[in-house]
Structure 1
């Protein structure tokens, strides 16, 4: 179908598994763009290195949402709950974990649970709720939950209709809140990329910032609150690919700002107007000499005398 409209030399789609991707990454491209997980991104970068192929990586990471004490609770809970349940949490920009003031934990748990019960009163045969992409991912997510449960983590499964989920046949896993999981658990260390939302509590903003900085740099960070001083403190003392204030993910759709990660969450920018154009362009400089050509040639010849030296320094601005 694509050949009917586009020349295959300009645009082509190649499908395949990891072996095809490995061969593709090792080809001598002018530029290579990869979107996916951080560990796979390392392999892509390694495959491109022998050809010195420049690589743009848009990866993921543990994207935090920091909720300040003065945040609008109803709005914040609605945005976080509905965003995390979209595509069952299988979006690289999703909130991976939330940092909440300790004394507001119970209220936010109640609000998030209510929001999800309203959005997804049922999971079975619900076309609005996404299945996990494949069996491997399904088993990985269940493994995270099993490990957390065995370690005594407080898990809140949001299942308002008391259905028989998780459902292995349909690969359905309801959104589960994990409250203050131990730091060495998979859900606390690794990107979840699934319907689990870890919630950690903090007693001071410095504590929350230190927690964020104890992880690899995320693709996105979401801040909810009104205090400009506190918002600016978090932004200035942490590093992330992008930041949304009182919103989720919209910075990635901006046509005026470049979107991408930093460190473990990626490198380079290829979305966003001028930024995207420059990413796929080579700034090749071309200089054409005019009437001074015969004079500059004489100056470049290694005849060392004071007159030539003086002229050359003048031309070079020395």
Structure 2
């Protein structure tokens, strides 16, 4: 076994030994863990942003605050407030056959949880699951992405100041380390990332029968209903699409618009992009693409679509500075019209500021288009009509959804978050996260008298009298 794998296993073994020695943490201890985590976020907020921004090349400061720091601290407050009720055992009914007796369900920590997080929101997607794992009384090992090494090193240092390694440990390293990490015999493994890597993670976990939660991605659609106001919808859509330069797993990946409104909607989107970001190159409000390799991939996606007959739309001023933007590792907002379904822009998750617009003849056609594709992580519907909203929601299936907006369902601490099918398996956040990292242990306490024991062998007259009553028969209990 390589040295890195040995070190990982030693850390996991130390956490298991500490859990066996200390036992299940109390409510007060769990709240103390959450408070310690909150203090880390408060004290190191600027350092976290600086590290993330350095890893990206540039990350807009408001995006780090709004998408990472604010929702994390809200999640901690929410868990702290509701933890007592979440931990409380739940009474369960006892069947008449087993009276007198009591039954209940108690929440027990799973043990040691592994968390593998991606680079696009490295703080939120590392610490978010950690909030839930600590609330549920677990110990945790975290493996941030190798694409954000400065952030990973900072997270390791900051969490080491707040927690002993046998409670919370951060592992940084390359893809080989990540591969060894996912092969560890955790009590639960949560992975956030691409579907391709998620498949490999699930295979690795299966070898050790490790239960997994997969938060993947895919192509999240937006459906613009015929009644939706174009200007308002276009601005709202572009705010979500261009947040973090489109590098968001739940960003709208294509938008369905009534075919007679496609041109007007596309123009409104271009205008909105220009209003949000009057210039692109070296704009502090606009985040960079994580790496040159990813930027090259996005440009190739656009060029392939263009070569296949798609129309490429950009604001005039944005297009004029495309070269300068690329030198600063930024990509100008780009719309694609008349894009064939065969190209990568319509087959693969884009993960950048590129948005295909697809026309539809009727709302049922739009719904059929969505349902003909793998179930998405998120779905967005734009309509002011309650019946249309219900129609779209009731005839589609996605991990989550936002109406008349984008991204925001993920920020709701009281809502579960997760995918379905190819976009993921399992949910977390808030109570759903507490449940995800807890074991529901059923307990039955037998009373002094037990009807079940009375009917133990050797079976006599009493058993023959009781059995037909239990079966709802009146034939004396004789088998047919």
Normalising by structure 1, what TM-score? 0.93
Residue 208 of structure 1: how far off its partner (Å): 0.5
Answer yes or no: is the 8 Å Cα contact 1:220–1:240 preserved in 2. Answer: yes
Q: Which of 175, 200, 218 is matched with 1:43 structurally?
A: 200
1:12 aligns with 2:157: no
SS in 2 for 1:24: helix
Q: Is the 8 A contact 2:241 2:252 kept in 1?
A: yes
Whole-angstrom distance in 1 between the partners of 2:243 and 2:377: 18
**Equivalent residue runs for 1:55-134 within 5 Å:** 55-134=212-291
Is this contact kept in 1: 2:240–2:407, CA < 8 A? Answer: no
Cα pair 2:266 2:357 within 8 Å, conserved:
no
- How much does 1:311 deviate? 4.1
1:119: how far off?
1.4
Is 1:249 aligned with 2:249? no
Q: Does 1:147 align with 2:304?
A: yes
Q: How far apart are residue 252 of structure 1 and its match?
A: 1.4
Looking at structure 2, the residues matched to 81 and 274 of structure 1 have their Cα atoms a distance apart, in angstroms, of: 31
Other-structure match for 2:354:
196
Task: Look up the match of 2:188.
Answer: 31
Q: Distance in 1 between matches of 2:377 and 2:251?
A: 10
Change (3 A) 1:38 1:313: farther
Q: Say which SS state the counterpart of residue 27 (structure 1) adopts.
A: coil
- Note the C-alpha offset of 1:53: 1.1
In 2, distance between residues paired with 1:7 and 1:100? Answer: 53
Whether contact under 8 Å (1:64, 1:95) holds in the other structure is yes
CA 1:134/1:313 → structure 2, altered by over 3 Å: closer, same or farther?
A: farther
1:238 Cα offset (Å): 1.3
Instruction: Find the partner of 2:459 among 283, 304, 307.
Output: 304
Counterparts of 1:160 and 1:215 in 2: how far apart (Å)?
Answer: 35
1:168 is displaced (CA, Å) by 4.5
What per-residue deviation string (whole Å, max 9, x for no partner) do you get for residues 125-181 of structure 1?
Answer: 111111111122112111111111111210112352511437544222111100020
- For 1:113 and 1:55, the matched residues in 2 are separated by 41
After superposition, the Cα gap between the structure-2 partners of 1:178 and 1:213, relative to the gap in structure 1 and judged at 3 Å, is same
Tell me the distance in 2 between the aligned counterparts of 1:68 and 1:227: 9
CA change 1:317–1:90 in 2 (3 A) is: farther
Question: How much does 1:305 deviate?
Answer: 3.2
Larger helix percent: 2
> Cα RMSD between the aligned structures?
2.0
Take 2:360 and 2:427, find their aligned partners in 1: how far apart are those partners?
33
Give per-residue Cα distances to partners, 1:243-302, cap 9 Å, x unaligned: 21112122112222211111111111111x322211111011222323126x644534x4
Q: CA deviation at 1:8?
A: 0.8
Correspondence list, 1:196-235, <5 A: 196-235=354-393
Shift of 1:315: 7.3
Secondary structure at the residue paired with 2:168? coil
Q: Distance in 1 between matches of 2:467 and 2:437?
A: 37
1:54 aligns with 2:183: no
CA distance 1:45–1:166, change in 2 (3 Å): farther
Greater CA deviation, 87-96 or 128-137?
128-137
In structure 2, C-alpha distance between the alignment counterparts of 1:255 and 1:118, rounded to whole Å: 31
- In structure 2, what is the Cα distance between the partners aligned to 1:105 and 1:281? 48
Cα pair distance change 1:166/1:69, threshold 3 Å: farther
Query: What aligned pairs does 1:146-295 form with structure 2 within 5 A after superposition?
Result: 146-161=303-318, 162-165=320-323, 167-271=325-429, 273-292=430-449
How far apart are residue 215 of structure 1 and its match?
A: 1.3
Q: Return the structure number with greater strand share.
A: 2
Give the gaps of 5 or more residues in structure 2.
1-156, 474-480
**Structure 2 length-normalised TM:** 0.62
CA 316–16 in structure 1, closer or farther in 2 if over 3 Å, else same: farther
CA distance in 1, matches of 2:338, 2:461: 76
